[in-house]
Amino acid sequence: MSRLITKQQIAEAAENAYTMARVVNGGHNAHYIPYLANVPSDLFALTITLPDGTTFSYGDDEYVFGIESVSKVATAILAMKQWSPEIVLEKIGADATGLPFSSVFSILLENDHPTTPLVNAGAIAACSMLKPFGKPDEKWQAIVGNMTALFGSEPQVLKELYRSESDTNYKNRSMAWLLKKHDRLYDDPMMSLDLYTRQCSLGVNCRQLAAMAATIANDGVNPVTGDRAFPAEISPKIVSMMASVGFYQHTGDWLFSSGLPAKTGVGGGIVGVLPGLMGIAAFSPRLDDAGNSVRAQAALKLFMQTLDLGIFNTTQVELA
């Protein structure tokens, strides 16, 4: 069975979701990173990008905020591109942790296995396995180059955020050494940690995140630039990782209620992917107890419900 939806229906559903979610005020800015605690809490944006590049965008969609853990999606793609999805599975894993993003148990519970590049431990491991080994500047170029291809424009480090995170990331530091102890770090620990911290401190806007989501939905070709960012075989792999752990300990509840594989960051951003159909991004700084934006979640759910979308639905949806 299949069903057609029009661009007009998408635009109306997005505008409606944006308007309704605007009044959702629960949660708090991330408080453990001083820079994020001070971002204006009422900022809000919603952007949808289709595989032909058509974009519907609402609110503060040009406001530049910290990408934080959404960067883990980009670097997981880069690691799979440089090596292969199978090698990333072997060296890091692709499991649901059911745990907070900074949990050390994600290293210890599964025979010293960090479990997925989409939580802190696995993301530090992903930075460590990037090529070329021992060369932080070139690794950094690879990280930013990959993100530029995904976003359609180059992200810049928010220097104050980088300083704020570097000064307070004691737990991530200890995790880098724990990974090293378990032979799950593939380059210098403090260099790998610094690459991870720097990539989390990159500034992005909601339009860039929607372009990245649409690139994943579009088998690796960025619909805004028309350029291929990664091989098509990586798309289903990264979507499966997002689906299994994108909201940390709330991932199952999220997937159950939204039907949307998505990944959050404590900067307030969320990227969601409907394979073949569209990329969706939302941003708002107030977070729930797992570090997922409350208002952005509300907007994405409303959008999905209005159009009756969801990856588990039996009716195939196509663009008219």
The site for ligand GLN (CB under 6 A) is made up of 68-69, 101-102, 120, 165, 172, 200, 265-266, 291
Q: Collapsing DSSP states into helix, strand and coil, what is residue 66?
A: strand
Nearer to ligand GLN, 175 or 278 (CB): 175
- Least separation in angstroms between residue 120's CB and ligand GLN is 5
Residue 310, Ramachandran bin (φ over 0: left; ψ between -120 and 50: alpha; else beta): left
SS (H, E, C) 77-99: HHHHHHCCHHHHHHHCCCCCCCC
- Least separation in angstroms between residue 207's CB and ligand GLN is 20
- Least separation in angstroms between residue 232's CB and ligand GLN is 28
Nearer to ligand GLN, 116 or 120 (CB): 120
Inter-residue contact 241 to 251 (CB < 8 Å) = no
The residue assigned the tokens 């994405």 is 300
- Least separation in angstroms between residue 233's CB and ligand GLN is 27
Q: Collapsing DSSP states into helix, strand and coil, what is residue 222?
A: coil
Q: How far apart are CA 9 and CA 271, in angstroms?
A: 21
Nearer to ligand GLN, 117 or 220 (CB): 117
- Least separation in angstroms between residue 281's CB and ligand GLN is 15
CB-nearest residue to ligand GLN: 69
Inter-residue contact 294 to 285 (CB < 8 Å) = no
Nearer to ligand GLN, 199 or 218 (CB): 199
Nearer to ligand GLN, 100 or 275 (CB): 100
Q: Which of 50, 58, 49, 51 is nearest to 17 (CA)?
A: 58
